[in-house]
Amino acid sequence: MTSDKHTGTDSDAGTLYLIPAPLGKDPVNRVLPEHVISVVHSLDAFFVERIRQANSYLRWLKHPVPDYKCRFYELNKHTPGEDLLEMLSVLKNGVNAGIISEAGCPAVADPGSELVRLAHESGIRVVPLTGPSSVLLALMASGLNGQSFTFHGYLPKPGRERTEKIRHLQTESARKNITQIFMETPFRNNQLLEELRTELDPDTLLSAGVNLTLPEEQIITRRISDWKSETIDIDNKPAIFLILAEKKGTSRPAFSGAQKQKKPAHKRKRVKK
């Protein structure tokens, strides 16, 4: 093994690319740069959650190598340690390979972080590629605090634990002025939204980003008191939720676009006395 002193990487090993995927089905590529596509086209070894879905993604990108000639290795939350070591050996043997996310960015609420960590420990170069991240896209468009936020991934399954988690997130959001970001399995989105409407305080801000980057995209930010009258069906649609609560006894200044703004000082007319 030879080592690059400047980067701490094994110069004989392959590179591990982290390959994002669209956040939903769309026949048109609206999210992946040409550079990402060219990198994917150069690879024939992939670490994927589901081989069938990975094949569909590669066909969508018009990958030049037939799927039966590509090497696929299943990488999910049930992957045993010995299989991870096998994947690591592929990279150590000088093969460039990529982790393909099913949606969004690999290793973010998605399998892959263990293999990425092993790659770093083995001096293997890791390259994240540009693509859609529902976490950042939803935060950008929410109007909530983008300076301080926490992503919690998936909430517990419906029940007492989830209800307590929601209340705790609201309490911590108010105490620390942080945006709380979380997800749910799509077929339970409507149920989660209804629980948020019920459990959160009326002044708490809730934002829902639905079908992000797709033609049917919806991004709605309201106080819970206003959400109660909002009719929206997000069942079985990719969605991400954000909340921002206020400390008791405080309120945000209201602003009306119709309010008359003062002219800048240098543009005010001087009045002769």
Neighbours of 157 (CB within 10 A): 10
Helix (H, G, I), strand (E, B) or coil at 144: coil
Instruction: Specify whether 223 is located in the same domain as 175.
Output: yes
Instruction: Specify whether 122 is located in the same domain as 72.
Output: yes
Length of the chain: 273
The model carries a pTM of 0.84
pLDDT digits (tens, 9 = 90+) for 39-57: 999 999 999 999 999 999 9
pLDDT digits (tens, 9 = 90+) for 144-166: 999 999 999 999 999 999 999 99
Segment 246-253 long-range contacts (CB within 8 Å, at least 24 positions apart): 246/174, 246/203, 246/204, 247/174, 247/175, 247/177, 248/174, 251/203
Instruction: Specify whether 146 is located in the same domain as 169.
Output: yes
Instruction: Specify whether 106 is located in the same domain as 194.
Output: no
pLDDT digits (tens, 9 = 90+) for 90-136: 999 999 999 999 999 999 988 899 999 999 999 999 999 999 999 99
Under 8 Å between Cβ of 211 and 218: yes
Overall average pLDDT of the 59-87 stretch = 94
Last residue of a domain, one of 128, 156, 182: 128
Helix (H, G, I), strand (E, B) or coil at 181: strand
Here the CATH number for the domain that contains residue 54 is: 3.40.1010.10
Under 8 Å between Cβ of 173 and 179: yes
pLDDT digits (tens, 9 = 90+) for 232-265: 999 999 999 999 998 766 655 553 333 444 445 5
Last residue of a domain, one of 128, 160, 176: 128
Q: Let me know if residue 105 belongs to a domain.
A: yes
d(CA 247, CA 266): 38
Contacts of 11 (CB under 8 A, 6+ apart): 2, 3, 4
Last residue of a domain, one of 63, 95, 128: 128
Contacts of 241 (CB under 8 A, 6+ apart): 181, 182, 183, 184, 192, 193, 196, 206, 207, 208, 209
Overall average pLDDT of the 188-199 stretch = 96
Q: Which residue has the tokens 């909002």?
A: 230
Give the ranges where 51-133 is alpha helix by DSSP (H): 51-60, 81-92, 113-121
Q: Which residue has the tokens 């119709």?
A: 258
Neighbours of 37 (CB within 10 A): 16
pLDDT at 256: 37
When divided into structural domains, the chain yields a total of 2
Domain carrying residue 237: 134-244
Q: Let me know if residue 267 belongs to a domain.
A: no
